Amino acid sequence: MQELKDIGIRKYTANYAGIAPTLDSSDSINPGDIAVDSSMTPPMVWLCVKNTVNSPIWKRMVGDTKLITTVVADYITLYTDEVVFINTSALATDQLTHLLDATLYPEQLFTFKLINATHDAIITPKAGSGQTIDGDPTLTLTGLNAYVQMISSGGNWYTLNAS
């Protein structure tokens, strides 16, 4: 039987509730480490899924709060994104949002919502990947409050809900 490694739990205080952990640079962070944001009720639990050159990538495991990112320019999604509000009011053209590589992030779930609709929001798979969204090369959000929720199958992206 394999012994379990004691990874401990690290407490931290976020700049504001719901933000991925930022532990000081003296901490040695490894995949499998857990951080707890105890400033919220209930507490938010994060799991380190990857650490490359002292840049840990955290996945929220427990917590009622959704992480919201608001973008006003072209954007490349992050692993920690959950809900992305797209504001095209300051743009002279449609806004592009590029998804993560579906093969590297199976079961990754995103929700995109157009909160200011001067222009459309165009969502595309990772450039050069050959991946699609429901078999199409792009998905366009048109009109105020248009939204889409999508998930990676481990090979492509699929919509779960849209308006």
Q: Are residues 89 and 44 in the same domain?
A: no
Tokens of 68: 């919201």
Q: Are residues 72 and 112 in the same domain?
A: yes
Distance CA 107, CA 115 (A): 25
Distance CA 22, CA 76 (A): 21
Between 51 and 89, the more confident residue is: 89
Torsion angle in degrees (nearest 10) through CA of 136, 139, 142, 148: 120
Residue pair 154/102 in contact by the 8 Å Cβ criterion: yes
Neighbour-count burial of 45, counting CB atoms closer than 10 A to its CB (0-12 exposed, 13-18 middle, 19+ buried) = middle
pTM: 0.68
Q: Residue 141 pLDDT > 90, yes or no?
A: yes
Q: Residue 67 pLDDT > 50, yes or no?
A: yes
Query: Residue 148: which domain range?
Result: 68-162
Q: Tokens 């366009």 belong to which residue?
A: 140
Q: Are residues 82 and 131 in the same domain?
A: yes
Q: Residue 1 pLDDT > 50, yes or no?
A: no
Report if residue 142 sits inside a domain. yes
Between 68 and 115, the more confident residue is: 115
Q: Which of 6-10, 65-69, 107-111 has the lowest mean pLDDT?
A: 6-10
Report if residue 105 sits inside a domain. yes
Q: Are residues 56 and 127 in the same domain?
A: no
Distance CA 124, CA 142 (A): 15
Q: Are residues 99 and 135 in the same domain?
A: yes
pLDDT band, residue 79 (cuts 50/70/90): confident
CATH of the domain at 121: 2.60.120
Distance CA 157, CA 108 (A): 9
- Structurally, the chain folds into a number of domains equal to 2
pLDDT band, residue 63 (cuts 50/70/90): low
For residue 136, give the DSSP letter.
B
- Residue 139 is predicted with a pLDDT of 96
SS3 category, 34: strand
Report if residue 1 sits inside a domain. no
Q: Which of 35-39, 44-48, 138-142 has the lowest mean pLDDT?
A: 35-39
121-124/109-116 β-pairing: unpaired
Q: Are residues 49 and 74 in the same domain?
A: no
